[in-house]
Each structure stands twice: as structure tokens, then as C-alpha cells.
A and B are shown apart, each in its own frame.
Chain A
Amino acid sequence: MKLLVAFISVLVLVAIPYLGITYAGMSSVFGIIVPYAAVIIFILGFVYRIIKWARSPVPFRIPTTCGQEKSLPWIKQNKLDNPSSTTGVVGRMVLEVLFFRSLFRNTKTELRDGPSLAYASSGWLWLAAIAFHWSFLIILIRHFRLFSVPVPYFINVLENVDGFLQIGIPTLYITDVLLLAAVLYLFIRRIAIPQVRYISLVSDYFPLFLIFGIGLTGVLMRYFYRVNVIGVKELVMGLIALKPNVPADIGSLFFIHLFLISALFAYLPFSKLMHMGGVFFSPTRNLANNNRMVRHINPWNYPVHVHTYAEYEDDFRDKMKSVGLPVEKE
């Protein structure tokens, strides 16, 4: 049911630009208004969410420590998994954000007869996540070819590396294959593992279908139904220069691709995809475990009711005296 809702939603998102372009000739709506609107929503929404998080203070320093603390000089500290300095925290965050350090630890638990519990390292989720996110990033960077004249040198290098297999004409990009394969894996995993299916929501399926749609339309355009690339670049450069202009005969496939991307941009700030920004805000990862070395300040620390020593002694003075415990007041 949830899966179906997500799937149909994406189909609708495909149909809208197709119908709009084919039957209504609304190329300036889908080529200019929608992308601008999406970018504006994305930027405002993203900033809004970040500000919203940033406005809540971090009252306590609560890192999850995943290795030896800094302690006596002859005990080796695990500086990355249990950092006590800013450098260490930066290292930890780099590992987390670029290489998904925590997910890399993933294990699979199995209950066998006996009973006996077995734990095996389980790298598939990590591998698919890495393949997905890095491919997405590289593909995004490759698209800068459309945004710049002349095309920067590093983009040509990136394209050569990405296409080093030199299969087919045009050359097959590895990241195209990896992205689609990884999304497919993440989807299959979501429906095949009963526990994961049980927790999955429409908002878990929807981005998978959406991104698959983006990848698929991109692949179709590049390898199968060539679109007018010169025209596309003209459109994109026009959007960037704020002199929008839609050249003729770009092809509806491109508009579908662009619309899905716009949908992703506009959707992102309101969805779980904000984990992209949120991971930097996670207090269990981005704080140093230097709690006993440097005092952390809670901006809303307030006085509380306590049972003072004086009250305690009032409660128990006679009993204390009876066993020779020193008291403040006789």
C-alpha cells in the first residue's frame, strides 16, 4: 500500500511534464518556472531547517564513545572513535560523512540452536550506501559540464576516470550503473527484509523511486534517446545567467528529467533526506569526549530543589551522634 502510493506519486510526477510539454507546449513552465521555484524552495527550506536545528542548544556533551578514552599517558587513546580534541572530532566527522564509518561496523545477528547467537560482519548495506551516495555526487559534479563554459579541467578528468572501461558509444559511465544498481538494492532490501519492510513509510519508498526515475531518464537520454545537448546547455546557461530562454526541440524526456530533479530539490528540505545536513548536527558524533577536561556550558541551566546537607543533618542528627559521626550543629 505505502509502496504503491509512493510509486504512483512518482508516476504522476513523470506524467505532469510529459503531458504539459507534449499537449500544452508549456516548455517555459517546465524549463524556467519550475526549476527556479524548486531551487528557491530548496535553498529557503534547507536554510530554514538548519536554523531551526541550530536554534536548539546542545545542553549536554553526550558523544557516543566507540574506543578507548584519553586517560593515562601510557594507555593508547583511540583518537578517531573517541576524540578528545577538535582535530579528532573533525577526523571522526570526515570518516562518518565521507565513508559512513558507523554503518561500516554493521553486523548481522543470527540465533542458532543451542541457543547460540552468532554475529557476522555485514557490509552490503554500507557498500550500497557508499555506491549510491558517491555515484550521486560524481554524477552531480559531471553535470557541471552543462553549467560552465569552458568546461573545467577537473570535470574532464572525472569523466575520463568514470568512463575508463570505455564500453560503448557514448562511453558508459560506471557511476550511472552503480547509482541505479544501488538504488535497486536499497529498494529490494527494504521490501525483502521483513523488519525493514515493517518500519518503511511512503517517505522511505518515495525518494527511492524518485531518484531511480531521475537516474533512468538520465541514462535513457545519454545512451538511448539522444536529446539535443546543445539546446540543453543553452537552457541551463540561460537559467544560471538569469536570462532564461528555452530553445526549441529539446525533447520531453529532458523535461521529465528536469522536473523530477526539481521535485527532489523541493522535497528534500521537508523530508528525511535532510539527514544530509543533520548528520553534521548529531551531538553523539560531533562533540569531543573531553567532558572531564573542559566544562560544557548549558545555556538554560537552572537552579533546582535539592536536599541540602543541613536538611539532611536535621533529619538524622541524633542518629549520627549516636554512632559518633561528626555533625555541624550539636
Chain B
Amino acid sequence: MPNESKSDELKQDELVKIDYKPPKKDWMDTPVHFRHGTYIYPAKAKNLTYLGLPNPREWSPADEDWKLPDNWKDIILNGMKERLDKYRSFKVFMDICVRCGACADKCHFFIGGGDPKNMPVLRAELIRSVYKGNFTAAGKILGRLNGARGLTKDVIKEWFYYFYQCTECRRCSVFCPYGIDTAEITMMGRELLTLLGCNVNWVIEPVANCYRTGNHLGIQPHALKDMFEMLLDDIQDRTGVKIEPTFNRKGAEILFVTPSADYFADPGIYTCMGYLMLFHELGLDYTWSTYASEGGNFGLFTSHEMIKRLNAKIYAEAKRLGVKWIIGGECGHMWRVMHQYMDTMNGPADFLEEPVSPITGTRFENAKSTKMVHITEFTADLIKNNKLKLDPGRNDKLRITFHDSCNPARAMGILEEPRYIIKNVCNNFFEMPENTIREQTFCCAGGAGLGTDEMMEIRMRGGMPRANAVKHVHDKHGVNRLTCMCAIDRATLSTLMEYWVPDVKVTGIHELVANALVMKGEKERVVDIRGEALKEKKGEDNVR
């Protein structure tokens, strides 16, 4: 295998020389070229085998021969037909695009790279052309004149390349006059590729892990408990408060589910410490689960069936433990699944109760069917009802901006809750330009299973619009912290900031809450939850 690419090997001034002019040659005559830094390594055979997915084998996208099954063409065409019959979205989106091009410069990968096939319209044409050539009369008769083409192995290679250069962020769908959603197209494309065993390991390994151990990182129950011990030690060290959460406890009122990255690695762990401190301070009757130890769902980046297979454990565990309802942590794509798919796939959750906050008595009407509440809905309600003692001054050394994560913004619309919390736990908050936040937010460019090092060039390019907006508030307001409520963001934005805006660190919302939260029995807080001095040393300023 070639060396992992490092972001510092990419030269910024080279990267920003972007030629948006498409080539002279028609796009159908431009075969894809697998260049290091622009594609992800294929799924390992053992992972596909474990999951019972087709065509496990050793191969590389750079190879000429992809070792496709002999009847690969039938598999794809039958797969397309099946999906056209099952998903109105797919059929309608194949039919109604007028190629107005409004989506073109809305995609972060096109803005940062200039590859015309990263324009959402052309990404969709990659599959639409095959649809026309095989499923429509006009396409069969007029052929290429009508944008139709046959299905060849080169088409499969092209799909693999470009459907894994889409983060399913749905920004284009906001601007499309017909609401054509490239995420939907990409999901179909990836499902079809899955039928041939053309998956990427960065997605399939977490899926296999999650299936077996309950979480993407493959953390087994005893190791999970150890990790929490370390977090709890750190909390005690920094606040003086000893916390003893419970795991797999039957009869708890609430089950809490969050992405495994939150308790695994920096900077997610500080957000996780925030949850632990908040729930402790409230005396909340809740439990963690080692079985439902993953909120995220990389099934979303594989196939609808895989979403359901991984998501099933959430309700199953809630039922087994006999909880009343569920709170979910800060994660982006997790909430696409919890909000838009879970109830349909694995509901109805009639064994749970309509969520009511035991602290404020607030009934979460908007979650009365799924019985799952977003942590920022829960916390915003606490703050609004004055249930938390907060000292926002403890976050004063931070100058904060907020990145709306794609899925909470465009598949849910949870925009004000996080802002309300941030404004209550810190004093210096600055918004990025309006074309880069809320429903127009720019992706971190590492979502949908792209957040791996071998994709570094594509990630740094695609992340440029987000980074550029951060740089704008950094230069203008001295912003030094980028807040987000997504585990993928916390990992990928950190790398992105190191590359484009090195002075800015990434943080979760409940890390800020943890800093500001005044706890019963705490010692004098001189360090923040990262263990860094609360106030920057400025000579006399520090003297009381």
C-alpha cells in the first residue's frame, strides 16, 4: 500500500490554483483516473464476509481488473430497476432535472477542486445517463444525443470514484428548484456498488465493527468501561467531583446514546465529559449501554438495509433495559438516521413513553413518536428553565464560532437550540457569513465515510469553503474555537483547521457547557475540561 498522505505534504498555493473551466472533451469521453489522495482503499474481504455482503476479494481501484462478478451488468441493471420501483425519489430525480446548473457552485468539492463531475448535476448524470440508456424510450432511440450511454466497466469505476467524493451533505438540494437531492443519488449509487462488492474500507470496517461490538471503533465492553474510567478520573482531577455513571442498567428512566468517537479520542472526549458532568449534576436517572454504544450509523453510507441492520440495536436495547425514552448525543449523520429513518425502519417504539424532562417537566412534543430527544433540545430546555448554574466567564479565553453540521441543519433543522446553549455558556460568540451557516452550511468534507487520510487532498479541497469562512471570522474577530455538534466534524474539522486555519481548535457544545457548569461540591476551577489554564496568563491580570 502507498504511504498515507499527510495534509502537510499538500501545498496550499498549489491547491488553490483551481481551474473551473471544464475540459474540451465531452464528459462521457473522460475516463476516471485514480490518483493518490483522491480515492479510498477498498473494503477488506474479511469485513464483507463477516457482514454477508457480496463479492469479497482483494483488489485495488488502481487495478485494471476489478474482479467483478461475471454477471455484473445484470446485477446493476436489476438493482437499478428494483430501486426505481422502490424509491419514488430515485425515479423522479432521474426524470426531472433540467440541467439549469444552479447546483454547480454549491458543492464544496466542486468549489475546492473544479472537477466538473463534482458538480451535483453531473454527479447525478453519471447514473442518469445509464438510466436513460436502459430504462427510457427516448434514451434508447436517441442515445448519446439525449445524454444516454451504455453500461461499461468504466462507468462502474467512475461511479466508485465520484460517489465516494460526495459527502451526502444535501447543500445542493437546498438550491435545486425541484429539490433533487444528490445524497439520495449517491446513496443509490453506493447501494449498487455494494452489490458488486465495490465498497471502501473506511466505511465497511466501522460497519463490521459496529455490527459485532456495538460501535464503529470496535471497542469491546470491558475496554469501553476502562475508557470511561479515564474520562471520570480526568473530570475528578479538573473539577474535584467524582462521578459514577451506570452501564447496561435495567430500569433507568433514560438511555443515552452517542457516537463512539465521543468517548474514544480527543477532542470528542471533552464533549463526552460534558455529558457526564451535566447528567451527574442533574442527578438524572440514566444509563449508558455497551451494546448500543454507537449513535452513528455508517450503514447510511452503505445501503438502506445496512442502516436498518445497525440501527435496530437502539430500540432493542431500550426495550431490554426497560427505559422510558432516549437522549441522543452530538452527532450529525446519526441524527439523519434517528430523525428520518429509525422510526420507519425499526419502530414503532410503543414500548417507550413520550419524552418528558424529569428536571423541567417539559414534554418534548416533537419527539412523541420516536421517543428520542436531541441533547441540545434537552439542554436548551434546562437553561431556559434556569435549572443550571452557569459561569460563562470560564469560557472567556475562547472566541467562538459555530459550524452547523450538514444533517442536523438540512435533515432536521436544529439551528437555534445549539446557538441558545452557546450564547448562555460563553460570552464571545461570532457567526460566520450567512451563506456558510444554517441551511447553507458547508460540509467538513469528511462526512459520509470520506474522513480518512488517504483522501487527504479531496478533503482539504472540499473543506476549503468551510475553512475559509472560519478564517474570515478568525481574521475579523479573533475566533479561536470552532464549535460543532457532530463527531465526524470534531475529527475532520480538526485536521482541516490545522491545514487552513491553524490557530483554531475544534470543540463540541457540551465541552463548553462542561466548562461553564457550576457543580455542587466542585473545587475552585483553575483549568478547563482539557486541563488547560482557564485564563491566559497576562501578567497582572491574573493577580486577584
Chains A and B are bound partners: yes
For the complex formed, measure the closest distance between the CB of A160 and the CB atoms of chain B, giving whole angstroms.
Answer: 31
B69 proximal to A (CB < 8 A): no
CA separation between A57 and B305, bound complex, in Å? Answer: 17
Interface residues of B in 29-45 (CB under 8 A from A): none
Closest to B174 in A: A66
Residues of chain A within 8 A of B88, CB atoms compared: 53-54, 56-58, 281, 283
CA separation between A285 and B416, bound complex, in Å? Answer: 22
A293 proximal to B (CB < 8 A): yes
CA separation between A297 and B369, bound complex, in Å? Answer: 12
CA separation between A60 and B214, bound complex, in Å? Answer: 25
A223 proximal to B (CB < 8 A): no
CA separation between A67 and B468, bound complex, in Å? Answer: 23
Residues of chain A within 8 A of B213, CB atoms compared: 312, 316
Residues of chain A within 8 A of B433, CB atoms compared: 119
For the complex formed, measure the closest distance between the CB of A69 and the CB atoms of chain B, giving whole angstroms.
Answer: 3
A229 proximal to B (CB < 8 A): no
Residues of chain A within 8 A of B446, CB atoms compared: none
Q: Which of A67, A72, A293, A313: most chain B Cβ within 10 A?
A: A72
B411 proximal to A (CB < 8 A): yes
Say yes or no: B344 contacts A298, CB within 8 Å: yes
B175 proximal to A (CB < 8 A): yes
For the complex formed, measure the closest distance between the CB of A5 and the CB atoms of chain B, giving whole angstroms.
Answer: 6
Q: Which of B59-67, B151-159, B220-228, B515-523 contacts A (4 or more CB under 8 A)?
A: B220-228
Interface residues of A in 82-124 (CB under 8 A from B): 82, 84, 96, 100, 102-103, 105-109, 111, 115-117, 119
Partner of A325, one of B214, B247, B380: B247
Residues of chain A within 8 A of B137, CB atoms compared: 270
24 residue pairs of the A-B complex, CB under 8 angstroms, read A2-B145, A56-B91, A64-B170, A65-B410, A69-B412, A72-B384, A74-B384, A75-B417, A102-B174, A105-B174, A108-B105, A119-B435, A196-B99, A196-B101, A199-B101, A199-B125, A279-B96, A281-B92, A284-B181, A289-B412, A307-B309, A316-B222, A319-B222, A325-B225
Chain A interface residues (CB < 8 Å from chain B): 2, 5, 49, 52-72, 74-76, 78, 81-82, 84, 96, 100, 102-103, 105-109, 111, 115-117, 119, 125, 129, 193-196, 198-204, 270-272, 274-275, 278-279, 281-285, 289-298, 300-301, 304-309, 312-313, 315-316, 319-320, 322-326
What sequence of 0s and 1s flags, for each residue 77-94 of chain B, a beta carbon within 8 Å of any chain A beta carbon?
A: 000000011111111110
B180 proximal to A (CB < 8 A): yes
Say yes or no: A107 contacts B435, CB within 8 Å: yes
Residues of chain B within 8 A of A55, CB atoms compared: 85
Q: Known: A61-B344, A96-B177, A119-B433. Contact between A202 and B142, CB under 8 A?
A: yes
Partner of B145, one of A100, A202, A271, A289: A202
For the complex formed, measure the closest distance between the CB of B178 and the CB atoms of chain A, giving whole angstroms.
Answer: 5
Partner of A72, one of B380, B436, B439: B380
Say yes or no: A102 contacts B179, CB within 8 Å: yes
Residues of chain A within 8 A of B414, CB atoms compared: 68-69, 71
Residues of chain B within 8 A of A119, CB atoms compared: 433, 435-436
Say yes or no: B344 contacts A301, CB within 8 Å: yes
Say yes or no: A301 contacts B345, CB within 8 Å: yes
Say yes or no: B312 contacts A115, CB within 8 Å: no
B366 proximal to A (CB < 8 A): yes
CA separation between A281 and B142, bound complex, in Å? Answer: 26
Residues of chain B within 8 A of A316, CB atoms compared: 213, 220-222
Q: Known: A284-B173, A319-B222. Contact between A293 and B22, CB under 8 A?
A: no
Partner of B340, one of A84, A108, A115, A291: A291
Q: Known: A65-B412, A195-B104. Contact between A292 and B384, CB under 8 A?
A: no
Say yes or no: A293 contacts B177, CB within 8 Å: no
Interface residues of B in 366-419 (CB under 8 A from A): 366-370, 372, 377, 380-381, 384, 409-417
Say yes or no: B305 contacts A304, CB within 8 Å: yes
Interface residues of B in 2-40 (CB under 8 A from A): 16, 18, 20-22, 27
Q: Which of B115-123, B272-280, B423-431, B490-498 contacts A (4 or more CB under 8 A)?
A: B115-123
Q: Which of B192-200, B234-242, B313-321, B449-457 contacts A (4 or more CB under 8 A)?
A: B313-321
B264 proximal to A (CB < 8 A): no
Interface residues of B in 307-331 (CB under 8 A from A): 308-309, 312-313, 316-317, 320
B146 proximal to A (CB < 8 A): yes
Interface of B is mostly: helix
Say yes or no: B27 contacts A198, CB within 8 Å: yes
CA separation between A326 and B105, bound complex, in Å? Answer: 53
Partner of A125, one of B102, B249, B291, B468: B102
What sequence of 0s and 1s flags, for each residue 42-75 of chain B, a beta carbon within 8 Å of any chain A beta carbon?
A: 0000000000100000000000000000000000
Say yes or no: B464 contacts A115, CB within 8 Å: yes
B420 proximal to A (CB < 8 A): yes
15 other contacts beyond A53-B88, A292-B367, with CB at 8 A cut-off? A56-B90, A60-B344, A62-B411, A65-B412, A69-B413, A71-B377, A102-B176, A119-B435, A278-B95, A284-B173, A296-B343, A319-B220, A325-B222, A325-B225, A326-B250
Residues of chain B within 8 A of A195, CB atoms compared: 20, 22, 101, 104-105, 116, 119
For the complex formed, measure the closest distance between the CB of B43 and the CB atoms of chain A, giving whole angstroms.
Answer: 18
Say yes or no: A72 contacts B89, CB within 8 Å: no
CA separation between A115 and B475, bound complex, in Å? Answer: 13
Residues of chain B within 8 A of A78, CB atoms compared: 413
CA separation between A54 and B85, bound complex, in Å? Answer: 10
Say yes or no: B146 contacts A66, CB within 8 Å: no
Closest to B378 in A: A72
B481 proximal to A (CB < 8 A): no
For the complex formed, measure the closest distance between the CB of B375 and the CB atoms of chain A, giving whole angstroms.
Answer: 13
Say yes or no: A67 contacts B211, CB within 8 Å: no
Say yes or no: B181 contacts A62, CB within 8 Å: yes
For the complex formed, measure the closest distance between the CB of B256 and the CB atoms of chain A, giving whole angstroms.
Answer: 16
Q: Known: A62-B181, A96-B177, A282-B178. Contact between A295 and B413, CB under 8 A?
A: no
Closest to B26 in A: A198
Partner of A292, one of B22, B84, B221, B369: B369
Residues of chain A within 8 A of B125, CB atoms compared: 199
Say yes or no: A117 contacts B465, CB within 8 Å: yes
Residues of chain A within 8 A of B347, CB atoms compared: 295
CA separation between A291 and B337, bound complex, in Å? Answer: 11
For the complex formed, measure the closest distance between the CB of B264 and the CB atoms of chain A, giving whole angstroms.
Answer: 17
B480 proximal to A (CB < 8 A): no
Say yes or no: A309 contacts B291, CB within 8 Å: yes
Closest to A305 in B: B309
Residues of chain A within 8 A of B222, CB atoms compared: 316, 319-320, 322-323, 325
B543 proximal to A (CB < 8 A): no
What sequence of 0s and 1s flags, for each residue 99-111 of chain B, a beta carbon within 8 Å of any chain A beta carbon?
A: 1111011100001
B302 proximal to A (CB < 8 A): no
B282 proximal to A (CB < 8 A): no
CA separation between A292 and B340, bound complex, in Å? Answer: 8
CA separation between A53 and B87, bound complex, in Å? Answer: 9
